[in-house]
Amino acid sequence: MKDVYRMGIMIRDGWIESAERCPSPNHNDRPETAVPELLVIHNISLPPKRFGGGYIQQFFQNKLDQDAHPYFAGIAGLTVSAHLLIQRDGTLIQFVPFDKRAWHAGQSEYCGRTECNDFSIGIELEGADDIPYTRQQYVSLAEVTASLIRQYPELNADALTGHSDIAPGRKTDPGDAFNWNYYRELLNLEQRVQPDSADQKEIT
């Protein structure tokens, strides 16, 4: 598959070249015929509603120190991951290559299809349901989404959903604080840039 470079984002072998790599052991292969067809947006903050500290990275790598905060004792034994984390300043940290199956959705259903991990990409925003996300996060999310749509033909702008939508009653993220309209506006702007424009090129 060709690599796509757009607005500073290039995906090569399932990894964003400009993202910090923080490999998680919590992933496996997708089913043989499965490809990314859905993008699931989550939020996470550790401890809840506190940002920074590197605890999310530790959590997804099974290295969380449960003595660092009382909340951590209840989650330290979980084995979960997402493909990508977007921090409050828009920085990208990638845990799992996009062609692999990250463990982010859990028990889930989308348009009658279960096991959403099989065919989805999970992106975590550092945040909480009731705390506004930053402009930098929306910009990074839109840029990443546009690049993913160009990289994976089965993924499109109609296949964007929240964790709460595929696991209703069990999950609430990304919450009411997430502005879907603003996100889609930025994504539309990103997608207006044609593949042969000055700020995008394909690398074979």
Active site residue ranges: 124
Phi, psi at residue 168, to the nearest 5°?
A: -65, 140
| Cα–Cα distance measured from residue 119 to residue 79, given in angstroms and rounded to the nearest whole number | 19
- For 32-65, the DSSP string reads TT----EEEEEEE-SSTT---SSHHHHHHTT---
Q: Which of 125, 130, 127 is nearest to 145 (CA)?
A: 125
Q: Are 16 and 92 in contact (CB under 8 A)?
A: yes
